[in-house]
Every structure is written in C-alpha cells, then in structure tokens.
Amino acid sequence: MSVLPYLVAVWVFLAGCYGLATSRNLIHAVGCLTVCQAATYVLLIAVGYRDGATAPVYSDIEPASRPVVDPVVQALALTDVVVGATVTALLLALVLQISKRHGTVDPDELSELRG
C-alpha cells in the first residue's frame, strides 16, 4: 500500500504517453494529454497525504485538535487543474483549425513540415 499511489501515478503517466504516441486522431491525442496530466494530480495529492488526518479546513474542527493533510500540495494541484483545462482548450482550438486547413485530424495524413 505504501507505494501503490505512486505506482498508479507512474502507470497513468506512461499510459497517457503511449496513447499520445500511437493516436490516430488529434482530438484523441489531446484527450491522452489530459490523462498524462491526471498523473501529476494523483502524485501531488498522494505525496501530501497523512494517515488518519482530515482535510486542512478549520471551519468545523478546532485548530490543532487533529492532524491535517498537507494543504500546499492541494493548492498546487488546484493550480495544475486549471492550467490543464486551459492548455486543453488551446490545443483543441488548434486541432479545429488543422481540421479546417488540412481536411483531416489524423496525424498520419499531415504531410507538411518534413525534413
């Protein structure tokens, strides 16, 4: 159990890379990129977890009464989630333009930019 979350993060990251490399559709490729990013959230939150602790929100618990998990990684993960969504949006906008200009979204059929 003590390494399972980390291994899951590594698995998700590499799976996303595999999907990205073998994708036959650019929209699918962008989806795979979001899978890669999901790995970073899992790793972040897993690193900040503490056994038996509660969420770092003191609106219903007395300060210093119980241990809390690391709030810093949660703040970083929040940032990361928003960054991920915006990058996805921008890349999808580019995919739409590719579909208009090249008439395809299959990376195997994009024949420009070689050599």
Partner 1 sequence: MDHPNHLLPLLVAVPLLGATLLVAGGRRLPRAVAETAGCAVSAATAGLAIFLVLQSSPPMVEWVGDWVPRDGVSVGIMLIGDGPGLGMAALASLLTLAALAYSWHYFDEPPRRHAGSFPALMLLFQGGMCGFAIAGDLFNAFVFFELMSVVAYALTGHRVEEARAVQGALTFGVVNSLGAYAMLMGIVLLYARTGELAMAQIGRRLDEGGPPDALVLAAFVLVLTGLLVKAAAVPFHFWLPDAHAVAPTPVCMLLSGVMVELGVYGTWRVYGDVFSGPGGIPAPDLERALIVLGALTAVVGAVLCWCQRHIKRLLAYSTVAHMGLFLIGIGVLKPEGDGGVALYILGHAGVKAALFACTGILLDRYGSVDEHALHGRARKLRGVAALFGAGALGLAGLPPFGTGLGKALTEEAAGPALTVLFVAVSTVTAGAVLRVGARVFLGLGPKPEEDPSYEPYETTGSGERPETRRRLKRVPDTMTAVPALLLAAALAVGVAPGFATVVDHSVSEAGSGGAFTSPHWTPAGVLLGLTSTLLAVGLAALAVTHRKGLPGEAWTGPLRRLQSGHIGDYVAWLLAGAALLGALALPGIVAG
Partner 2 sequence: MSRRVRLWILSAGGTGLAVLLVVACFQLPGFGGDQHPYGDRAVRESLARRTANTVASVNFDQRAFDTLGEMTILFSAVLGTVVLLRQTRDEHRAKPAPAQVAVPVRRYALVTLPVALLTGLYVIAHGQLSPGGGFQGGVVAATALHLLYLGADYRALEWIRPVGLYEVGDALSASAYLVLGLAGVLAGTAFLANTLLSYGTFNTLSSGGAVPLLNAAIGMEVACAAVVLLARFLDQAVEIEESGKTGKTGKSGE
Partner 3 sequence: MDDALIAVALLLVAATATAAVATRDPVHQALVLSLLGVALALLFTVLQAPDVALSQLAVGSALTPLLLLLSVRKVWRRRQRQGRTE
Query: 35 vs 60, which CB is nearer to partner 1?
Result: 35
Closest by CA to 32, choosing from 22, 47, 45, 40, is 22
Which option in partner 3, partner 1, partner 2, none does residue 65 bind, with CB closer than 5 to 8 A by kind? none
Instruction: Determine the Cα–Cα distance for residues 29 and 25; give it in Å rounded to an integer.
Output: 6
Told to check if 43 binds partner 1 by CB under 8 A, we report yes
- For 24, the token pair is 């036959």
Question: CB-based burial of residue 86 (10 Å sphere; 0-12 exposed, 13-18 middle, 19+ buried)?
Answer: exposed
Query: Which residues are at the interface with partner 1 (CB under 8 A)?
Result: 9, 13, 17, 20-23, 26, 29-30, 33, 36-37, 39-40, 43-44, 47, 72-73, 76, 79-80, 83, 86-87, 90-91, 94-95, 97-98, 101-102, 107-108, 110-115
